[in-house]
C-alpha cells in the first residue's frame, strides 16, 4: 500500500565515469539499458518506488542537461518534480536541496534518498524493509541506511560497522561509517564480521536530516535556510544558482553520515548491486560454460575464460586466449583492461580528460 507521507528522491545527475566508455557525459549509465532488459536503470529505479509512494511524491534530482532525457524516459513524472541542480556538487548539497524542498511541502514528511543506477532483485523484501524503516524514523530521531553483506574487499563502496545488539527488530546502531577504504582496510573490515556495504539508500524524516546539516554542516544549512521561502516558487531556480555557487563539493557520507551519532542500519539481502563498475555487469549477466559474458550477437571465443566483452551488435568479434579481461567497444573508443583493474577506469577517464579536453568523454 502506498504511503502518502513518504517522499522519494532519486539522484540522477551523475556521470558514471567508472562505466566509461559506454557511460558518457552526454548519456550517463542511468539513462542506458545496461542489462539489456528493455528498461534503463532510471526507469527500473522509478518503477521500484511506484508501489511504495504515490507517483506525485517521487522526485528526480539531476542537472539541466539531462532534463529532456528524464522527461522522455519518465513521462509520468510531474514537471515540478524534476529538480535540477545548476552545478554538480556531489551528494551533500543535493540532499540538502531536496530535503529543504520537501520540508517546505510537508514538515512531517519522511524522505527516502536513492541512487538512480542500482539493481535490486528482491522487490517485495525491499518494500518490507522500507516500511520497517519508515516506522522506525517516525518514532526515533534517527537516520537509517540499508547495509549489504560484503562478498569481497572492494574499495568502491562505503563500509558501515554496526553494534551487534539490535535497537529494534533487525535495526542496529551504527558505530563507524567509512567511505571507500583502501584494499587492506577493506580486508580488515570483512574479516571482523561486523561491517556491511553501504547501499546508498537513506531513510529519515526531512526535519531530522535538516537538523543534522545544521549541526555538522552549518554553512550548507545556512545557504539553504536563507532561501527556503523561495523553494517551490517561480524564483527557486534563480536563488538556487547562487546557493550552489557557494556550496562545497562533498558527499553526504563525508558531510553527515560519518559525523552523526543517530545513524542506524538494516542488514539486508536484496540481490543488490550498485552497477557501478563493469564487473557488476559481469556478475549480473549470464555466463557461458567458460565464464565469459559476451554482450554481442556475433562472436567467437577460443580458449577464453572469465571475460566481459561488449560491442555493437553489427560487429563480429573473434577472440583467442583471453582471460579475465574487460573489452568494451564503442564507435569511438575501445577499452581493454584487466577485470582486477576495473576501479582504475575512473582514473583513466580523468587522464584522458587532461589530454583530449573531453573529446572522448
Residue 260 sits in the same domain as residue 302: no
Residue found by looking up cell 551487534 in the block? 164
Percent of the chain as helix, strand, coil, to the nearest 5: 40, 25, 35
Q: Where are the beta strands (DSSP E) in 116-153?
A: 143-148
d(CA 108, CA 89): 27
Residue 350 sits in the same domain as residue 223: no
d(CA 304, CA 312): 20
Domain that holds residue 138: 6-268
The number of distinct structural domains making up the chain is 2
pLDDT at residue number 290: 94
1 pLDDT higher than 60: no
pLDDT at residue number 178: 85
State the DSSP H helix or E strand holding residue 292, giving kind and residue range, or none if neither: none
Residue 147 sits in the same domain as residue 189: yes
Residue 179 sits in the same domain as residue 264: yes
Q: What is the pLDDT of residues 66-112, one digit of tens each?
A: 999 999 999 999 999 999 999 999 999 999 999 999 999 999 999 99
Last residue within a domain, chosen from 244, 268, 292: 268
361 versus 111: which is more confidently predicted? Answer: 111
Residue 21 sits in the same domain as residue 129: yes
Residue 259 sits in the same domain as residue 317: no
Last residue within a domain, chosen from 217, 233, 268: 268
Closest CA to 102 of 92, 117, 113, 91: 113
Residue 35 belongs to a domain: yes
Q: What is the pLDDT of residues 300-350, one digit of tens each?
A: 999 999 999 998 878 899 999 999 999 999 888 899 999 988 778 888 888
pLDDT at residue number 2: 67
196 cis-preceded (ω within 30 degrees of 0): no
User: Model pTM?
Assistant: 0.91
Residue 124 belongs to a domain: yes
Q: What is the pLDDT of residues 241-252, one digit of tens each?
A: 999 999 999 999
Q: What CATH number does the domain containing 240 carry?
A: 3.90.550.10
Worst-scoring range by mean pLDDT, 2-11, 49-58, 233-242, 273-282?
A: 273-282
Share of the chain above pLDDT 90, in %: 65
Q: Check residue 297 and report its DSSP letter.
A: S
Residue 202 sits in the same domain as residue 336: no
Residue 304 belongs to a domain: yes
pLDDT at residue number 282: 87
Average of per-residue pLDDT values in the chain: 91
Residue 191 sits in the same domain as residue 305: no
Residue 159 belongs to a domain: yes
Q: What is the pLDDT of residues 124-137, one digit of tens each?
A: 999 999 999 999 99
357 pLDDT higher than 70: no
pLDDT at residue number 180: 80
Residue 41 sits in the same domain as residue 66: yes
Residue 240 sits in the same domain as residue 109: yes
d(CA 32, CA 160): 30
Report the C-alpha dihedral over residues 129, 130, 136, 141, rounded to 10 degrees: 130
Q: What is the pLDDT of residues 256-307, one digit of tens each?
A: 998 999 999 999 988 888 777 788 888 888 899 999 999 888 889 999 999 9
d(CA 102, CA 111): 8
pLDDT tier, 150 (very low <50, low <70, confident <90, very high otherwise): confident
Last residue within a domain, chosen from 200, 235, 268: 268
Amino acid at each position: 500500500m502506498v504511503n502518502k507521507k513518504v517522499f522519494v528522491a532519486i539522484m540522477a545527475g551523475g556521470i558514471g565515469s567508472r562505466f566509461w566508455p559506454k557511460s558518457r557525459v552526454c548519456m550517463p549509465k542511468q539513462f542506458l539499458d545496461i542489462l539489456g532488459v528493455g528498461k534503463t536503470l532510471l526507469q527500473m529505479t522509478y518503477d521500484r518506488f511506484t508501489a511504495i509512494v504515490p507517483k506525485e511524491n517521487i522526485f528526480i534530482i539531476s542537472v539541466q542537461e539531462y532534463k529532456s532525457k528524464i522527461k522522455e524516459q519518465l513521462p509520468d513524472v510531474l514537471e515540478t518534480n524534476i529538480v535540477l541542480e545548476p552545478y554538480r556538487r556531489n551528494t551533500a548539497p543535493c540532499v540538502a536541496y531536496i530535503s529543504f524542498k520537501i520540508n517546505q511541502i510537508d514538515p512531517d514528511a519522511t524522505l527516502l534518498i536513492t541512487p538512480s543506477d542500482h539493481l535490486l532483485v528482491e522487490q517485495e523484501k525491499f518494500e518490507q524493509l522500507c516500511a520497517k524503516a519508515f516506522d522506525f524514523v517516525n518514532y526515533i530521531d534517527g537516520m537509517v541506511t540499508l547495509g549489504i553483506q560484503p562478498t569481497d574487499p572492494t574499495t568502491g563502496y562505503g563500509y558501515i560497522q554496526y553494534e551487534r545488539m539490535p535497537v529494534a527488530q533487525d535495526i542496529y546502531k551504527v558505530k563507524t561509517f567509512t567511505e571507500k577504504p583502501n584494499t587492506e582496510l577493506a580486508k580488515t573490515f570483512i574479516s571482523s564480521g561486523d561491517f556491511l556495504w553501504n547501499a546508498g539508500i537513506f531513510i529519515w524524516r526531512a526535519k531530522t536530516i535538516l537538523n543534522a546539516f545544521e549541526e555538522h554542516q552549518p554553512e550548507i544549512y545556512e545557504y539553504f535556510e536563507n532561501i527556503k521561502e523561495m523553494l517551490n516558487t517561480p524564483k527557486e531556480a534563480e536563488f538556487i544558482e547562487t546557493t550552489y555557487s557557494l556550496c562545497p563539493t562533498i558527499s553526504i557520507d563525508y558531510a553527515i553520515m560519518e559525523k552523526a551519532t543517530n545513524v542506524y542500519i538494516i542488514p539486508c539481502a536484496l540481490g543488490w548491486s550498485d552497477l557501478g563498475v563493469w564487473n557488476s555487469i559481469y556478475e549480473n549477466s549470464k555466463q557461458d560454460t567458460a565464464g565469459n559474458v559476451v554482450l554481442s550477437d556475433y562472436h567467437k571465443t577460443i580458449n577464453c575464460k572469465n571475460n566481459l566483452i561488449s560491442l555493437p551488435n553489427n560487429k563480429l568479434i573473434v577472440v583467442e586466449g583471453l582471460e579475465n579481461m574487460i573489452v568494451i567497444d564503442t564507435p569511438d573508443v575501445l577499452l581493454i583492461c584487466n577485470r582486477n583493474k576495473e576501479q582504475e577506469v575512473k582514473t583513466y577517464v580523468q587522464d584522458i580528460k587532461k589530454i583530449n579536453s573531453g573529446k572522448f568523454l
